[in-house]
Amino acid sequence: MLWSLAKIILFVLIVSALTLSAGYLMEASGGIQVAFGGMEFNLGALQSVIAGILLIIAVWVLLKLLGLLVAVLRFINGDETAVTRYFSRNRERKGFKALSDGMLALASGEGREAMNKAHQADKYLNRPELTNLISAQAAEMMGDKKTAEKVYKELLKDKRTRFVGVRGLMKQRLSEGNNEVALKLAETAFALKPKHEETQDVLLRLQSEKHDWKGARKTLATKLKTGALPRDVHKRRDAVLALSEAKDLIAEETSIEAREEAIEANRLSPDLIPAACMAARGYIEKGKKRNAVRVLKKAWEVQPHPDLAAVFAEIEPDETPQQRLKRFGTLLGKNADDVESKQLLAELNIAAEDFPAARRALGGLAQDMPNTRTLTLMAAIERGEGAEDAVVRGWLARAVTAPRGESWICDNCNHIHNEWVPICEHCKGFDTLTWRQPPAQMLSTTGLNAEMLPLIVGTPDAPAENAVVPVNEPTAEANTIEEAEVIETEEEQKETSK
């Protein structure tokens, strides 16, 4: 209403100004005298202004006619679109101006303005492959997903814009959590443009989440061929995929294929601890103990880990603690200064009931790097050396509230995992888990986890043949820790009551 009133007022002002100007010109003296071909024309002030305006219009019309004449001549010479271009040139100029304004509005975050400019550009240009993309992105910016989906489907009709349409629909399905449809769209987009790096990454992630390891390995190979992935990174990730495939095959009880895949994964990346463990177990089942030892030693040299020690113990399950201590010397010599090597050596000496040697092997780890495992080992040493129960319980009480030590931690989100997985459970990152200490702000306390001790020892008065027990069986130390928790709670309650 106000805008209509303002336009009326503006129109009245313009008419009034023109009328007033014409009155002044009619009353003004002077003018223009034109002599041509023996004829003389005297024009007043108002007539001179009108003549000047008419002259400008005549020149503009003449230039347009000359342009049309040039277009006709080009058409006669064989340029079939010369006349059409002449008449559409002005529309194209307006259309491209609207298109550029739409792109600027989109970059500025003005979704509605970008949508209007896109419609205006489409009206002048009739080039949907240029305007539909702006319309779709503007609709998404405004939260109008239905309009965006409709525009993306329009882009599918043109071969030149089909990839853009598929990619847009794929992103929509990903945002909705519909990974099944997103995977099919990613496969279609990958078939249209195999070199598109973003599509490669999305397809690889979706295939991994679906456990389509063979498809993921093909996608990874394409990334290598197109130069989107360094060769060393490709080898590592291909090993992760091969290992994941092997784990699935084991779950399906196809052990022969699983062993072959595990050995292939270990060959591709010897430092991949789960692959080394699975490959070594495969060799043990085949009776190839030397191959198992070689695989575990190579992995231990790169990264000592409790899982490697547990599998190394499985090579000779019936040996005595003294024999095991001697045999493990070949493994521990590969990385003797590592914390894991020191803890493992202490554990082996406890199993062999050589408690002074266990104390020497552990060194100052219980004071410098206290965690559940080191403190539990100190409790076992104290008990083995005949210390009082209060001393043993003190170490166990500290173990209850101590940090858990090294764990499988995602490098992207720092999420802690109980066991290695190819895809982070929290951020869905692929091959992002490393065995390390948690960040200081994430140090958490936990009770004794049997998986942290690959060679858990029994009580000092236990029979020698039972000094070393399997990893997954409950231990006396675990039970003692539970007792320590109860004692500590009771003492806190007594202090509170006082």
pLDDT score recorded for residue 37: 65
Q: What is the pLDDT of residue 265?
A: 83
The pLDDT of residue 264:
80
Query: Do residues 174 and 182 make contact, with C-beta atoms less than 8 angstroms apart?
Result: yes
Tens digit of pLDDT for each residue in 334-367? 888 899 999 999 999 999 999 999 999 999 898 8
pTM: 0.64
DSSP category for residue 444: -
SS3 205: helix
* Tens digit of each residue's pLDDT (9 = 90 or more) over 102-127: 888 888 888 888 888 888 888 877 77
Greatest extent of the chain over all pairs of C-alpha atoms, in Å:
140
Q: Which of 469, 478, 433 is nearest to 305 (CA)?
A: 433
pLDDT 10s digits, 36-77: 666 766 777 677 777 778 888 888 888 877 776 776 777 677
DSSP 209-276: HTT-HHHHHHHHHHHHHTTSS-HHHHHHHHHHHHHHHHHHHHHTT-HHHHHHHHHHHHHH-TT-HHHH
Residue 333 pLDDT: 85
Q: Average pLDDT of 446-454? A: 45
Q: Which two tokens stand for residue 81?
A: 């679109």
Judged on CB neighbours under 10 Å (0-12, 13-18, 19+), 66 is exposed
CA 348 to chain centroid: 42
In this prediction, residue 14 carries a pLDDT of 86
Residue 448: its pLDDT value, please?
43
pLDDT over 70 percentage in the chain? 79
Please report the pLDDT score of residue 496 as a whole number: 46
What is the average per-residue pLDDT within 472-488?
Answer: 41
By CB atoms closer than 10 A (0-12, 13-18, 19+), residue 147 is middle
Looking at residue 184, its pLDDT comes to 94
478 against 209, higher pLDDT: 209
425-439, pLDDT tens digit by residue?
Answer: 888 888 888 888 887
Residue 441, pLDDT above cutoff 70: no
The confidence score (pLDDT) of residue 460 equals: 34
What is the model's pLDDT at position 114? 86
**CB-neighbour burial class of residue 97 (10 A; exposed 0-12, middle 13-18, buried 19+):** middle
Higher pLDDT, 25 or 248: 248
Residue 191 CB-density burial (10 A; 0-12 exposed, 13-18 middle, 19+ buried):
exposed
How far is residue 208's CA from residue 243's CA, in Å, rounded to a whole number?
12
Which of the residue ranges 15-24, 231-240, 257-266 has the most confident prediction, judged by mean pLDDT?
231-240
- The closest of 433, 431, 468, 474 to 451, measured between CA atoms, is 474
Nearest Cα residue to 30 out of 49, 40, 50, 44: 44
pLDDT in tens, 145-184: 888 898 889 889 888 889 989 999 999 999 988 999 999 9
pLDDT digits (tens, 9 = 90+) for 276-310: 898 898 889 888 899 999 999 999 998 899 999 99
The whole-chain average pLDDT of the chain stands at 80
Mean pLDDT of the 452-458 span: 44
Predicted confidence at residue 109, as pLDDT, reads 85
Q: Given this model, what pLDDT does residue 375 score?
A: 92
Instruction: Determine the Cα angle at 495 with ends 489 and 498, to 5°.
Output: 140
Reported as a single tens digit per residue, the pLDDT across 177-218 is 899 999 999 999 999 999 999 999 999 999 998 889 889 999
Between 71 and 92, name the one with better pLDDT. 92
Assign 442 a pLDDT band (cuts: 50, 70, 90).
Answer: low
Average pLDDT (476-496) is: 44
